[in-house]
């Protein structure tokens, strides 16, 4: 009898331990789910804060870039007014540079361009493809000072840029 009572007690204790182990395992699963949820919240908050920082940095940089562009225009106006024939000024903190750009020929109306009398001199012919040859058109313009039909001349402008002594450059075309 005693054995059976002790056996029953042991069986009951083992059953209770098994229930406790299942409850403990379930509790651990619940804790893991809570931790995963917390991790997700932290990562979401970090992404939101990154977006806010990115917006702030873009806004701040934009304001500074606007200031740089404004100062560059002031320097260009200064150079145009005070030194109109000078190509570069070497200053203590950098250089002001003005470089001549080349003229461009642009084909605006291909059908009208194709009506040119000297078309064969102005095109490149590939098998079944006829397309304007900008180099030939430019050479024609430079020789005759006539702009072929369907094209336009984009006048060259000076390119103004500044060069800071630490190596940074800021160029703006005018």
Q: What is the pLDDT of residues 152-161, one digit of tens each?
A: 888 888 888 8
Q: Are 87 and 81 in contact (CB under 8 A)?
A: no
* Percentage of the residues of the chain whose pLDDT score is greater than 70: 94
pLDDT at 62: 94
* Percentage of the residues of the chain whose pLDDT score is greater than 90: 28
pTM of the model: 0.50
DSSP category for residue 92 = T
pLDDT at 41: 96
Coil vs helix vs strand at 153: strand
- Weakest mean pLDDT among 41-45, 100-104, 134-138, 166-170: 166-170
pLDDT for 99 beyond 90: no
Query: What is the enclosing helix (H) or strand (E) of 106?
Result: strand 104-107
pLDDT in tens, 19-42: 788 888 888 889 989 999 999 999
How far is it, in rounded angstroms, from Cα 45 to Cα 42? Answer: 5
Categorize the per-residue pLDDT at 174 as very low, low, confident or very high, splitting at 50, 70 and 90. Answer: very low
pLDDT at 65: 94
pLDDT for 147 beyond 90: no
Average pLDDT, rounded, for the chain: 84
Please name the residues in contact with 99: beta carbons below 8 A apart, sequence gap of 6 or more: 87, 158, 159, 161
Select, from the ranges 90-94, 103-107, 143-147, 164-168, the one with the highest average predicted confidence (pLDDT): 90-94
């Amino acid at each position: 009898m005693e054995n059976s009572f002790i056996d029953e007690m042991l069986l009951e204790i083992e059953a209770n331990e098994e229930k406790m182990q299942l409850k403990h395992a379930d509790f651990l699963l619940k804790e893991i789910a809570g931790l995963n949820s917390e991790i997700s919240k932290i990562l979401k908050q970090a992404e939101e804060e990154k977006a806010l920082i990115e917006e702030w940095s873009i806004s701040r940089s934009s304001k500074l870039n606007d200031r740089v562009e404004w100062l560059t225009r002031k320097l260009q106006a200064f150079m145009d007014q005070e030194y109109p024939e000078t190509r570069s000024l070497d200053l203590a903190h950098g250089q002001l540079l003005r470089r001549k750009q080349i003229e461009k020929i642009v084909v605006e109306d291909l059908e009208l361009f194709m009506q040119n009398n000297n078309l064969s001199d102005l095109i490149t012919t590939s098998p079944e493809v006829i397309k304007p040859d900008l180099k030939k058109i430019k050479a024609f313009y430079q020789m005759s000072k006539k702009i072929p039909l369907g094209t336009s001349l984009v006048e060259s402008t000076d390119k103004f840029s500044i060069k800071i002594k630490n190596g940074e450059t800021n160029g703006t075309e005018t």
